[in-house]
Chain A
Amino acid sequence: MSKRNFSGIDLKDMLLALIVPLFVLVLWQIAVSLQLFSELLLIPPVTLVKTLRDLAHSGDLTVNIIASSKRVVTGFLIGGSAGLILGVFMGISSFVDRFIGPLIKACKHVPLFAWMPMIILLFGIGELTKVVFLSIGAFFPILYNTYQGVSGVPKIYRELAQVFDYKSYRYLAKIIIPSAMPSIITGVRLSFGILWMFLVGAELFGSEDGLGYMMTWGRQLFQIDVVMAGLVVIGFIGFLMNYILGIIEKHVLRWQLSFEGGAL
């Protein structure tokens, strides 16, 4: 039996997951040593570590992480809430689904960056633009997964609600939301992943702070180490967030795992 840490993550899995990054690190160092690319573009790992340390010491990293996190969280809360509410309504009401579903489904296929010119025209280039952009990014994954989860609630659960004579609030709280929760959480995880990916794009336009801004500014000043430091930090935060959401998912869905005989 494999050893598990406090969050239930298999230690063997964790070690296994480190193999590829280590391999990439070794390849990277080989490429630098063989000067396959200009050292100015592919900076050595040691330089990257030094840059990360310098950025952390100067406080720049903290300021930019906080600025970006605020945007991501705000975008998630606005876009995610709208997606959740609409997804529930579309899932439980076939009228709402038929009424608004086609438009939503059409919009879903518009690439996120294609919204940008329209957003800039409507909202200018301030903070609101970035939040709107990220909200759209958060909206669709949560809407789609909530809709899938709610519309997929087994008929027997709905009949059960009728037997217990659950009215709207209890029907939602006791039957619909718990049943759709696995799908909603998948949407939340997808949504956060997308938001961190599009953050750089959101902060490209008229920003004064944020990790995307830091990377763009590093590029303009030909400081490629700063660009790579930004990539590493965004990747690490994205990974950390996914990891934390994984723990929350396990905690929230523990009833389901117990019910299905899964081990915690």
Chain B
Amino acid sequence: MMKWIKILPVAVLLLMGVTVVSHAEDKPKVIRYGFNGNGLGRPFTGGVGGVINDKNLLEKEFAKDGIRIEKTFLASTGPGLNEAFASGLLDIAGFGDFPNIVGRAGGLKTRWILVGVRGDNSRIIVHPESNITSVKQLKGLRIGVAKGTWAQLWFAKILVVNGLTEKDVKVLNLKGSDATAAFVAGSIDAVVGGSLSLVDQGLAKILYESNKDPQSLRGRDGLLVTEAFAQKYPDIVKRIVKVNIQAAYWLSQPQNTAEYLRISGKTGGVYKDAKKDYLTHDLKVKWNPRLDKEAIDHYQAKADFCYANGYIRNKLDVEKWADKSFSEAALKELGLENYWK
């Protein structure tokens, strides 16, 4: 009997294919990098991750070390990346603020090492013939939202500003093409973060957009690394952060806008006013990667909002979660420590 008790865990380990990773190596064979992905399931994304992916910046950085880059793009976006972290399938990933916070509050052993984007724009679209002119009028209506993503948190905060909560509307979990199909079929009254190509085609109009909102209301994302990977390969993490900062710097230069829009357009979100919309942002602010006080306070306020509204069950101390060491070192090495203050 004792023999069986000893054998059983080993057998289960073998059956489940658990990989025992050697702790003696000073560099990994592979870096498992999660990108935000998109609801359409295409291997493209926008923002800093989009530039890194399109220009193969990580591959170029680690080619001389023989480190392979394993890229993951999930149609399930942020919530899916949290699951991948929990399953031990990822070392590092950049994704939206809401799943960032939900994952950490749920017990994922991660460190927040960089800001991805500050204040991305989002919108609520309604039917062209709709009489709805304000967010308040959404009360009682059916709204398509990709639940668990940053768009849901953005919408929840916009509702609160307008005197409503998620309980006052019928929030349906729909993303990407499902939301578009349901909207066009007339099954829902509005879509949060809806496709602007629908607006171009005259199939929708914009009810609300966040361009003029204060930063506190807007969506953001962050780069997370697992505790284990950061402890084991701190130099590698610093180099990854460096690549991210280089991409952020490139994005902050207005002359790169046209090329960036070509990159982000690969996700399928092409629309005619993309450039006009993008240039409403202060690019230097938008792509500031620094984990400064404003960034930490912003995430803390969102984490507190999530706790107060029951999205997370544990309070989150963002100051303890954030690790500025990699970004500050990388900024210094790149001579950009005074570019973003």
Task: Say whether A222 contacts B102, CB under 8 Å.
Answer: yes
Query: CA of A216 to CA of B186 in the docked complex: distance in angstroms?
Result: 24
**Which interface class (under 10, 10 to 19, 20 to 34, 35 or more) fits A?**
20 to 34
Take A125-B174, A217-B173 as given contacts and tell me if A206 and B188 are in contact as well, using a CB distance cutoff of 8 Å. yes
Cβ proximity bits B9-51 to A, threshold 8 Å, 1 near / 0 not: 1001100101000000000000000000000000000000000
Q: Give the contacting residue for B9; candidates A30, A41, A121, A221; CB below 8 A.
A: A30
Known contacts A36-B12, A38-B87, A206-B187: A220-B173 contact under CB 8 Å: yes
Q: Is the CB of B86 within 8 A of A208?
A: no
The CA of A223 and the CA of B311, in the complex, are separated in Å by 10
| Residue-wise interface mask of A (6-24) relative to B, using a CB-CB cutoff of 8 A (1 in contact, 0 not) | 0000000000000000000
Chain B positions 94-119 with a Cβ under 8 Å from a chain A Cβ: 99, 102-103, 106-108
Contact call B107/A125, Cβ cutoff below 8 A: no
B176 to chain A, nearest CB (A): 13
Chain A residues in 8 Å Cβ range of B324: none
Nearest-CB residue, chain B, relative to A41: B86
A126 to B142, CA, bound (A): 10
CB distance from B17 to the nearest CB of A (A): 11
Q: State A128–B99 Cα separation when bound (angstroms).
A: 31
Q: Is the CB of B186 within 8 A of A222?
A: no
Smallest CB separation, B170 vs chain A (Å):
6
Query: A220 near B147 (CB under 8 angstroms)?
Result: yes
A207/B172 contact (C-beta < 8 A), A125-B188, A220-B79, A222-B102 known = yes
A208 and B142 CA atoms in complex are apart in Å by 10
Distance A145 CA – B108 CA, assembled complex (angstroms): 49
Q: Does B219 contact A (CB under 8 A)?
A: no
B82 within 8 A of A: yes
Nearest to B103 among chain A residues (CB) is A222
For chain A, residues 42 to 97, give those with C-beta under 8 angstroms from any C-beta of chain B: none
Of all chain A residues, which has the CB nearest B82?
A: A222
- On whether the beta carbons of B86 and A40 are closer than 8 Å, the reply is yes
A124:B182 contact, CB within 8 angstroms: yes
CB distance from A97 to the nearest CB of B (A): 37
A118 to chain B, nearest CB (A): 12
Whether the pair B86, A219 counts as a contact (CB closer than 8 A) is no
Sample 15 A-B pairs with CB under 8 A, ordered by A number.
Answer: A39-B107, A40-B108, A125-B174, A125-B178, A126-B187, A205-B174, A206-B144, A206-B172, A206-B182, A206-B188, A208-B170, A219-B83, A220-B173, A221-B148, A222-B103
- B residues with a Cβ closer than 8 A to A are 8-9, 12-13, 16, 18, 79, 82-83, 86-88, 99, 102-103, 106-108, 142, 144, 147-148, 170-174, 178, 181-182, 185-188, 311-313
Given contacts A30-B8, A222-B99, 6 further A-B contacts (CB under 8 A): A121-B181, A125-B172, A125-B185, A206-B182, A208-B170, A221-B79
